[in-house]
Each structure stands twice: as C-alpha cells, then as structure tokens.
Structure 1
C-alpha cells in the first residue's frame, strides 16, 4: 500500500510539473476570443463569438505573450480559423476553429423590384436575421438602396445586395457638363459634353469644344471633377 501511495504521489507530481511546462489550453482559447471581439467591434448588430475546442493533449511550450492572427483571406465572420503563435522563448504556431455570428438588421424587398426601376423607400423592409448566413454585400441601411436601380429582378422578401445595384446617373450621355479642376490656390473650369452616362463618383469621358477627350469624376449638378 505504501508503495502504491508513493507511486501515485510521484505520478501526480510529474503531471503537475508537465502542466507547468505546457501552454494552458484555456489561455489559447481566451486569446482567440479576445482577438475576434476586437476584430468585430465595428460590425452592425449583436456579435457572438464562439471558440472551438482545443485538443487538451496539445503540448506547446509556455508563452508569455501569445499572438492571435487571421490567415490571409480569412475574415472575422461566420466560420473562421484563427492562428495563435509564440515568438519567444520557444516559437510555435497553432490554428483554432471559431464561429462569429452577427444578429442584426438587413434590407429586403417589401415588393417585387424590376430591373432598372428606381427603388423607393416604401418598397423596402427592415428585417432581422443572422447576417453571416446571408449573401455577401447585403444592405443594412435603406440609405444604401433608395434612389438606386437593380441589375436583376428582386422578389418580395429577398435581401437586397448593394453590389447588384446601380446609382442613378448624375451625368447623361450628350449632356453639357462643366469640367472643374481645383488645386492649391487655383480653380479652372471648361465646358464639354459627356460621352456616356455616369453615376455619382464614377469616371466619365467628356469631349470639349476643341474635340479633346478628358476623363473626370462625375458629380451632381452636371459637374465633372478633373485631377491633374
């Protein structure tokens, strides 16, 4: 019995010593959770971060300052993978699965929207759901949609994607426009005609009276801003 007790005590001491010489799995998960909370601080809606389990048999050297990071192309959105690395005293790197859910408002069509139709506020509805489960680019504010037109038909109840919308043209092909160029202490303007339709902020070609073509940024009010 005495030998059994001594053996058990030695095993417990060895286990404790091994734990002290091994990175705490809980610290790894905490590093990932804190990192994702920072990364998602500006997202619309209620964000919930869940860090996946880490194999307790994982044996990594203790690290005083573990650093969490996202792999190239990865996002703090939906199912993702976060890396944790240690620079010193013993370099190592491990990857941990996590899930970021975002419960928030998004914009859906309250009535069918036809292609090319200018969208009005009354045709839109504010819905709530899991944003990470929706297609990329879904509008979260009516201001992103009102006044624009859709490239495709949108059925009632469907989320409205910003990347499928076009801005209402502020410059029309053949329309007389004013070319404006401003700099440090100077302002120059000229007249011309737009060679194509263009929405706010889009590049448009303008033909001047002498036949020269100049590219500029379309602005409201028939203005085209030129930067030299």
Structure 2
C-alpha cells in the first residue's frame, strides 16, 4: 500500500518555483534531523520532512503538489533506532519519480533504507488541441490552457504563450501533449548552403562580408560559416539573419 497526501492540506499556503530547465527538479533540501521513538513511524517522519522541504523552496509559479510515498519492502526488519534522519540521495530530486533515504544514526544496528516517492506538481500549462507536423510554426489555435502535471516529464513546461507561439515543432507533435521546451525551437532564418551576411568585429574595427552557411541557422544559434577565402569562422545568428562573429 502507498501513502498519499496533499501539500495543500498544510496549515499555510505555499508555492513551488519552476524556472526553465532547472527548476524544483534541481532542489536539494538541507538535512533535517528528527528524534523518534525506538519504533518510529517512518511514514509520518517522511511526510513531515517532505512538507518542510517543499516549504523551503522559493515562491514563484503556484503549483498544487501531490506526494505519494511508497512502502518499504515488507521483508525488512529494522532494529530499534532513536535517531532517524531523512535525506535526499545524491542525484535524487523532489520532482517526479524519486526516492528518499532514511538512515539510523543512533541504534544498536546502523541501517539505511530508501522509500520510493512520486511527486506531482499540478499547474496551468498549454495542451495541444491538434497534431502539429515537424517543422510547422505553432499558432495560438494549436493549444488550449489546462491543468497538468509539470513533473510528469523531465523537460520544462512552456507556460508563457510568447515562448511557443511562432516557434516551430522540433518533431511530430500530437494532440493532448503538454507543450514543453524540447518540443519547439526557433524558426530557421536560412538553410545550409545559403549565402549569409557576416559582421566581424574586432578591436577598433568592423567588417561586413558574405559567406556560406554550413548549417541551417535560427536566432541565437551558433553556426559555422565558410568565407570566400576558404576560412571557416563561427558566429551567432541575429534577428535579421546576419551572423555576428568576433575575430
């Protein structure tokens, strides 16, 4: 049996910050020590630790958190312990499917066990209303707002329409999918092999020339350009489709 609880049931309202790729997904809570009886209720100890850890995150985008705590293997027989410390194992996170470590620091036998966790974070996002072929620019009509689990996938949710309207589908997108960063990209301003304007700047000078793009380029991307003398340089594509390079 698993034990579920809602963070919303806590006495005071709280929020989780979710930013771009890194997000709560990267949050690591400080160790919280708990004094318990020789036969501790590990479920309650775990619930208190997670509630405290989630409350410590910065406030930004409001999300409704739901945490499901799994059960230890019934075959385990833990010796009495008067000091159990919950902790996040290296590489673990309080987001999506994870696990929480419990270690005995004061007992006849030191033990260390892991509880499986599933942490869901429900909030507003944009869900596709129809299929979008790869390479097609998205419009406002392609998605509708709905409440979804932000933690269901590793990629960050694109919550701001300005970040996806006009962007191009990086792969075939299907109706019902939540728009996430890995699903869209900036449109290409030129194709591989196209002649592009190159603006090269150095100390006290600026030179404009033409070169051949060695790959398609979008705003903000770094691309390689073959110049007329055969030299290959790298530069960043600007909003006009020109490539800015430093020499």
| 1:13-162 map, 5 Å | 20=37, 25=42, 26-38=44-56, 45-52=63-70, 58-59=78-79, 61-63=81-83, 66=85, 68-72=87-91, 74-85=92-103, 92-133=111-152, 136=155, 138-162=157-181
Give the counterpart of 2:188 among 169, 182, 191.
Answer: 169
SS in 1 for 2:182: helix
**Residue 179 (str. 1) matches residue 199 (str. 2):** yes
Report the Cα offset of residue 133 of structure 1: 4.1
Relative to structure 1, the CA distance from residue 70 to residue 220 in structure 2 (aligned partners, 3 Å threshold; closer, same or farther) is farther
Rounded Cα–Cα distance in structure 1 between residues aligned with 2:52 and 2:217: 44
DSSP-derived class of the 1:94 partner: strand
Distance 1:186 1:47 in 2: 55
The structure in which a higher percent of residues are helix is: 1
TM-score by length of 1: 0.67
Shift of 1:101: 1.6
Give the Cα–Cα distance (whole angstroms) in 2 for the partners of residues 149 and 223 of structure 1. Answer: 20
Q: Please, what is the CA RMSD of the aligned residues?
A: 3.8
1:136-183 residue CA offsets vs partner (Å, 9 max, x unmatched): 55533323321122244434444334323332013444232223456x
Tell me how far apart the structure 1 counterparts of residues 80 and 59 of structure 2 sit (CA, whole Å).
Answer: 30
Question: Secondary structure in 1 aligned to 2:79?
Answer: coil
Contact 1:168 1:199 (C-alpha < 8 Å) held by counterparts: yes
Distance 1:211 1:49, change over 3 A: same
Structure 2: tracts of 5 or more residues without a match: 1-35
Residue 46 of structure 1: how far off its partner (Å): 1.6
Structure number, greater radius of gyration: 1
Q: Secondary structure at the match of 1:159?
A: coil
Give the equivalent residue in structure 2 for 1:10. Answer: none
TM-score, normalised via structure 2 length: 0.63
For 2:242 and 2:166, the matched residues in 1 are separated by 19
- 1:80–1:39 Cα change, 3 Å: farther
Report the Cα distance in structure 1 between the residues aligned to 2:205 and 2:115, rounded to whole angstroms: 56
Q: Tell me how many residue pairs correspond in the alignment.
A: 206
